[in-house]
Amino acid sequence: MSFDYTKMIEVALEAAQKSDAQNPVALKVGEAFGYADAFLILSGQVERNVQAIARDIEDELNLQGVKTLRREGREGGRWILLDFGDLIVHIFHAEDREYYALEKLWADQPEIDLSGYLTTA
């Protein structure tokens, strides 16, 4: 099954919320970054939480037929990158997310409204 990046974001967010991912932000980066259409950036509070978020996102997207092209940083649990082609997911430890500030680095790219994808507890 072929997913566009918006469907991948929807599936990834649903999986991430089960692992208590925090502060999701999605950026449409296709115009400036030729390797993907969007970034999804999420936070976890501790290394194990970051690893669980990454595992749950990867497992669910793979279950839906979306292949993981590359993954980096899973062992350390501070910044995990999951490459699904049109979507690249960055899962940060909260401290590292603040330090690397990807949202500021890519601030000139349009933000994708996630309100329709998020569930409220």
Reported for 78-82, long-range contacts at CB under 8 A and 24+ positions apart, including other chains, are 78/47, 78/50, 79/50, 80/50, 80/51, 80/53, 80/54, 82/54, 82/57, 82/58
Q: What is the mean pLDDT of residues 43-70?
A: 97
pLDDT for res 120: 55
* Pairing relationship of beta strands 79-83 and 87-93 according to DSSP bridges: antiparallel
pLDDT for res 74: 87
Q: Which tens digit of pLDDT belongs to each residue from 11-28?
A: 999 999 999 999 999 999
